[in-house]
Structure 1
Amino acid sequence: MANLLVTGGAGFIGANFVHYWREHHPNDGMVVLDALTYAGNRTSLAGLESLRFVHGDIRATEIVSSLIRDHDIDTIVHFAAESHVDRSIDGPDAFIDTNITGTHSLLKAAKSEWLDRGSGRPHRFHHISTDEVYGSLGPDDPPFSELTPYAPNSPYSASKAGSDHLVRAYHHTFGLQTTTTNCSNNYGPYQFPEKLIPLFLINCLTGKPLPIYGDGMNVRDWLYVKDHCRGIELVLDRGQVGQTYNIGGGEELPNLTVIDVICAAVDERFNADPALAARFPDAPAAKGQASSSLKTFVTDRLGHDRRYAIDERKIQEELGYRPARDFKSGLAATVDWYLAHENWWRAVMDGSYRVWLERNYGSRATVG
């Protein structure tokens, strides 16, 4: 039996991990620490039993230390981060503060409790990172491996690279038992609608433009979030301390292809269920039109990385990881989840988010 502290557990990937872990490890203790910034939502944890939720900031080192002591924590799974590239361009300071200073705060608390005052008990500090720390690939470049040099190109990816280096340093210098995973683009339930898939899905439902950066041919490796959670579980269970593992979905797709799949999925569901037209009267599909008619090309993002791809042979060969869902089935499950949870996504889109979205995409691109 383990006792976990999950940071950022009310956010997208964190909430999915908490649900996954509770389902597969029902006897483990679990504390969720989340600051409930715009992308964190308590309702994403609804229905979970025997869960202690703490509304707090990872930068508060003493709070983290007391949680480790009071709940006999032996495993920290660190999701808490500012994660949206566009926001990091608009305001980098929050990314440096949360992703670097916040991670360092957690590392200090873990070292204090597990090493300085601890008894040498086995422990694990698992850090969730991103493939964006590796930079951008050309069309014929090999995918990112764990040995790819870091070359972050946005304030977001630079801040995550800095946090990765801190985790490595605390293992190498102090002996903290750490692991890190660098994942590709996640999608699935509970994702805040600023990322491509939920934003474009909801815009299809509400009749808002689908703002496509540049030529739309930027390529990403798409990872269904529950496959990511299973990969983290494998690393916590059998991963080698001090090591990094890349987790991907095994499917490189240009953004335009992803958008076309979203549009087609929405149209198919409206054709199959006439009640959707009454629920979403502003959707083109409610009027017998194609959702793809909403596609609008906009000025490309500053420093937009062209291609990401993951070489996941290490986690496959060492730990037996394989993604269970391909993109087609994962996207279908995601569309169905958002259609079934309209109250959730409407509730999370508060006024501050609408202001930001209007500033970046124009008032006609807003949702809600």
Structure 2
Amino acid sequence: MSVTELSKLRDQVAIVGVGTTRQGTIPGKDGNEIAVDAFKLALDDAGLEKDDIDGLLTCRSFGDLGVDTQIAPLIGLNPLYSATLDYGTCNFSLHFAAMLIASGFAHTVACMYGTNQRSNRNFFAGTSAADYALAHGLFNIAGPASMALRRHMHEHGTTEEQMSAIALTERAHARLNPIAVMRDELTKDDYLNSRYIVEPLHLFDMCLITDGGACVILTSAERARDMKQPPVYIMGMAENTSLRNFQNDDQLMRPFIQTVRDQVYPAAGVGREDVDVLFIQDPTSVWVLQMLEWYGFCEVGEGGSFIQDGRIGLGGELPLNTNGGQLSESYMWGWLHIPEAVRQLRGQAGPRQVEGAEIAQYCSTMAFSKAASTIMRRD
């Protein structure tokens, strides 16, 4: 879709409800039941009844759960439109919902995800869809991420000491978040002395594995004006897919993200300098480093120095992942970043609140083949 077409969606759709369950270990419930719990919380947040929802987008979770035909009966919902996405991060579901609303297929859409991957002890070494990567020994995200970081270190002189700033910043934010799993203090010595997962990635460079659920409810801008909560408008969104990325010479650098970067800001009618609070999907700290560079918040190769001296912390120039991110709040495939962005723009983030936050951006990738970004604004 061209930037001209994307810009027609600006401010046409708003987020009116968010719900997040407790995170960590939730015994006795499967992912579908946890997703339903998140849905109920989002309904209450929006001041809606379940019959107000005529669109349902679910996200498949581990163990073949998360399918719309499983979840809708649990809710007692018979929507006009429903679908299940096989990839996460919330951005893709959010964009799908916005297009459904803008095109008239539905007027109020719930997007949800739930997982019991920790208590169920799911196997994370990949499925048949990952056979190509498995053949090269890339059994999970730590392998390619470690190679990407090593390459960054080789080409740009990035150090482990510099990388510690990401984990330490996210932990500091998580300590202010009541649903965060990791709330103990983390020091630079703790980080540097922690074991390697795949060198040079330390333990605290890696995301958590957790149970949890999240739900986001969207509707048209016109309907949103009469809702319980102040609306958060979707200013701009962009996606790109590179299904042959493993055949690219530069696959570790994921060049397909450049297309998203070049579309999302013109679509929203703002620049990166207008972003007050930034969210980056962070299965590893390397993703944060790279996307700060790829989206132009700093020059390529300067990410290591850019994240120093509190720049990405609360009170800094570019507050990042104020919820604690996937490194310290919870994993959840990136689904918790949008609810946190919404709370920031409503002014409801409590001690994590970024003063005067008006515009938030969320940047995400799905493995090495999909990228998406959403820019939102407060009412």
Structure 2 length-normalised TM: 0.33
Task: Select the structure of larger CA radius of gyration.
Answer: 1
Structure with the higher fraction of residues in helix conformation: 1
